[in-house]
A and B are shown apart, each in its own frame.
Chain A
Amino acid sequence: MSLFSIFFYLFALITVVSALFVVSVKNVVHSAFYLLFTFFGVAGLYVLLGADFIAVTQIMVYIGGILILLLFGVMLTNKITNIEIKSGTVNIFPAIVLVGVLMGALVSVITRTNWKVVQKVIPNTTINSLGKVLITDYVLIFELLAILLLVALIGATSIARTNNTNKEEV
């Protein structure tokens, strides 16, 4: 078994097992911490696929940004004295059946399809070529995403803040 396979199975195991814990543990804070390992595992898979920049972005944005944001969300939407922050569940049994059938269908389609695989040499780094792709082919999307991030930033702060001035007027 090659080193590549060993690392693939390691990262796949980390990703899948911690994702299983994310969806099954009752405590929301524990779910958020298991999500950390899922994101790390996915970043490892990106490295194995030769996407170094995506892997670093995954760690910085998902673990450094989104996960912290989710943890803030958990802390701010529960009473701070409540140590056991539980999340109730609904529709457990139909969901297991539906998701099981869906997963079986996806896996059977994936394994039966004869994917056309191109053999190619993985470059040492993709940063240079990815940067060129971003500012040539995808320059419009790139700029639109910059504007979208600004809109999301302003929108999120304006939604989340307590509007005291309006209440006084009313």
Chain B
Amino acid sequence: MAEVGLNHFLIVAAILFSLGLFAVITRKNAIMVLMGVELILNAANINFVAFSRYGNNGLNGQAAALFVIVLAAAEAAVALAIVLNIYKLLTNVNVDEIDKLKE
């Protein structure tokens, strides 16, 4: 329980990244894969903000974190639209069963 510094934030981000990757690898449901991607993006964001706080780069890290949040929102919207379309065509969203290019 040492004094909380840069390492502690980076380790939390590393754990979050690993858990997100675990969800992406193991889950069948496409929505769960998307949740894993969100966890990974959050982990990257913690790193950006932590280096912005402890590094000597001014607010560049926070600006990058803001851009990541915006991209995550756009990604979630488009990905969910695609998932809804897949559900309409194939009536399931399991990523291991979706192997058709057309009906």
Contact = CB atoms under 8 A, between A and B. Distances in A.
Please say whether chains A and B are actual partners in one complex: yes
Interface of A: 1-2, 4-5, 8-9, 12, 15-16, 19-20, 22-23, 28, 31-32, 35, 38-39, 42, 45-46, 49-51, 53-54, 57-58, 61-62, 65-66, 69-70, 72-74, 76-77, 87-92, 95-96, 98-100, 102-103, 106-107, 110-111, 115-118, 122, 126, 129-130, 133-134, 137-138, 141, 145, 148-149, 152-153, 155-157, 159-160, 162
Contacts of B52: 49, 51
B43 to A, nearest CB: 9
Contacts of A130: 59, 62-63, 66
Residue of B17, B36, B66 contacting most chain A CB atoms (<10 Å): B66
A23 B19 contact: yes
Given A45-B46, A62-B38, A102-B18, A148 B62 contact: no
Contacts of B84: 73, 76-77, 160
B67 A73 contact: no
Interface of B: 1, 3-12, 14-23, 25-32, 34-36, 38-39, 42, 45-46, 49-50, 52-56, 58-60, 62-63, 65-67, 69-78, 80-85, 87-88, 93-94, 96
B3 A126 contact: no
- Looking at chain B's contact residues, the main secondary structure is helix
Contacts of B80: 69-70, 72-73, 156, 160
